[in-house]
Amino acid sequence: MEIRWHNDPPDHWAFAYGQSAAPMQQHPLYGAAMAALGCRVRYAGIGAGGVALTVSRRIGPLPFSLIGRGPLWADPRPEDGAAAAGLRRIARDIGLLACTLETGTAGKGLWPVLSARHQAVLDLAPDVSALRAGLGGQWRSRLRGAEANGRLTYHAADPGRSAVFGQIVRAEADQRRDRRYRALPPAFIEAWLRADPRGARFYWAGDGEGPVAGALILLHHPGATYHLAWANQAGRSAQAPRRLLWQAILDLKDDGYGKLDLGDVNTEDTPGIARFKIDTGARVAPLGATVIVRPALIRRRS
């Protein structure tokens, strides 16, 4: 399977980025942000209908590359053996390669190192009444409570112009350290906004003493990603995260976005967060495993 390398995504790859389900990690904005953080970003055309954004950096003396939630394929998707062969050709060109597959792919030369994960993805196509009816009963009841609570004020703001935005990002970073979960660093958000100053939406709630909850949505039209969320005890007690997320859902739908990626669903380690996401009416979509890709052998001409 032929591999064609590009420093920027060609215009004719719009079929891939126009898919509402295309993940953030395969969007050119993600590539621009990672390049700004010092990574080498390249785009691989795979055969007639595959594309993959690759992010490369050095770990000590060794080059290491990652394809996150890719490749993306035009219909009809190739059989697993052909898809695996394409990944092996990429690895032959760039060296040590890990791939977190968007869909399950088996084949020669793919060595699983992490088991498959699940992602919560909310379809924004239904009308607002159907979206509200699709909420879990407890989720909807607590949303009504948040809407009736007059003690908090709610805001939608440009993250680049909001003084509160930096407070929320720092608070979420502290929360991440305390709870020991992993996420992209705050520098990634800064790089994303430099690549597209209008590429995010920020929502926050406050009381008389300051912010109590916040959420950041990254935009990669026609998809969007629920990237960051934080709340203190006052915000959680008032169910502010539900109201912020619901407002984001309404705004995204109104602006023609097709799907909202709510992130990883881990019912074992974070069951409360998993239930919060699932009860929005999101579909739990299985991803493929994370694999190390063995490079294809170079055939010698006789």
CATH code of the domain in which 138 resides: 3.40.630.30
Least confident of 73-87, 122-136, 227-241: 73-87
Same domain membership, residue 60 and residue 157? no
pLDDT averaged over every residue in the chain? 92
Buried b or exposed e, range 19-57, using 16+ CB within 10 angstroms: bbebbbbbbbbbbbbbbbbebebbbbbbbebbbbbbbbe
Domain count, the chain: 2
Same domain membership, residue 151 and residue 84? no
Report the share of the chain in percent with pLDDT over 90.
76
Question: pTM of the prediction?
Answer: 0.94
Same domain membership, residue 168 and residue 61? no
Average pLDDT over residues 188-201: 97
Same domain membership, residue 149 and residue 38? no
The parent domain of residue 8 ranges over: 3-115+287-293
Instruction: Provide the pLDDT for residue 19.
Output: 65
Same domain membership, residue 257 and residue 171? yes
Split at pLDDT 50, 70, 90, the class of 107 is confident
Instruction: Provide the pLDDT for residue 301.
Output: 46
Same domain membership, residue 188 and residue 153? yes
Same domain membership, residue 243 and residue 200? yes
Residue with more model confidence, 297 or 56: 56
Instruction: Provide the pLDDT for residue 302.
Output: 38
Same domain membership, residue 229 and residue 216? yes
Same domain membership, residue 140 and residue 83? no
Split at pLDDT 50, 70, 90, the class of 275 is very high
The verdict on residue 138 lying in a domain is yes
Average pLDDT over residues 248-255: 98
Buried b or exposed e, range 88-112, using 16+ CB within 10 angstroms: bbbbbebeebbbbbbbebebebbee
Amino acid present at 187: A
Average pLDDT over residues 189-213: 97
The verdict on residue 300 lying in a domain is no
Same domain membership, residue 261 and residue 159? yes
